[in-house]
Structures are given as structure tokens and as C-alpha cells.
Amino acid sequence: MAGGDTRAESVRAGVGEVAEQAAVILVHDAARPLIPDDVIERVLAPLSESWDGAVPGLPVADTVKRVRGDEIVETLDRSELVAVQTPQAFAADVLRTALGGGVAGASDCAALVEAAGGRVRVVPGDRQLLKVTSAEDLALVEGWLSS
């Protein structure tokens, strides 16, 4: 199966390969090579509590600023912010419906489900779900695996 031109289009193609009778679909970024088992359990649990989806997230430690050009225009309240990770879990029918609409600009599947009116819960993430995007990230993951 070939991926799409965007992340969301690749997810749409992958979900198209999932059996119709599947009740739940987990979406995970290959750039996050480590997946602690307890995170999978945490994202699945809210689906049995009538949530449409669940995502792991970590509190944002740094101060976050909104900028335009090079000017700071706002300091965001980080107590209300989390950095979202994968795997993300969804009721299969909800994710399929969300992927049926426009997907341009969606940064993750939760954004699509939210835009379609779905309720997504955040659960505790894990620092080992690091997204490997640099040589330094790769070295950190290699260190975790060797210890």
C-alpha cells in the first residue's frame, strides 16, 4: 500500500485497509519507535467510556509564545496545553467518518475527529514516545534501548 501526499491522506489509505468489522483503530507515527504497553492500555480505556477517541499527551514545560513574524503577540497559558503523541485510538466508525471529509491541514487524527464533532480524551503520555526528527533524538532513543 502506498502512502498519501500528506499524513492525513496516508492515514486515510491505511484505514481503508482495516477490516470493516473493526471496532477500534489505533494510529501510530513510525517516527516514534518506542511504544510502552501501558500507553496502549491508556488510550484504549476511554473508548469503553463513550469517548470517540483518546490521545497520549505530556504537559508543556516551556513557556509558549504566539508570534507574528518576529514579534511576540501573546503568551499562552501552558497549564491548559499538552504535547500530543501517538498512538491515538478511535472508535473505528468515528475515525472513518472524520477521514471522509477534507483532511487538508490536519496535524493529527484527533484534529479530524474534533472537527467532525467527536470527543477526544487526553491520557498521560510517555517521554519514551519521542518523535525522532533529528540525529540527537535518534541518539537518545539508542541510549534508552542500550540501557
This prediction has a pTM of 0.89
C-alpha Rg value of the chain to the nearest Å: 16
Higher-pLDDT residue of 68 and 11 is 68
pLDDT digit string (tens) for 115-138?
Answer: 999 999 999 999 999 999 999 999
| 7-54+85-146 CATH, one of 3.90.550.10, 3.20.20.210, 2.40.10.10, 3.40.718.10 | 3.90.550.10
Of 96, 89, 94, 85, which Cα lies nearest the Cα of 18?
96
pLDDT for 1 beyond 70: no
pLDDT for 68 beyond 90: yes
What is the domain partition of the chain in residue ranges? 7-54+85-146
What percent of the chain stands above pLDDT 90? 76
**Which range is least confidently modeled, 5-14, 19-28, 68-77, 121-130?**
5-14
Q: Residue 10: pLDDT band by 50, 70, 90 thresholds?
A: confident
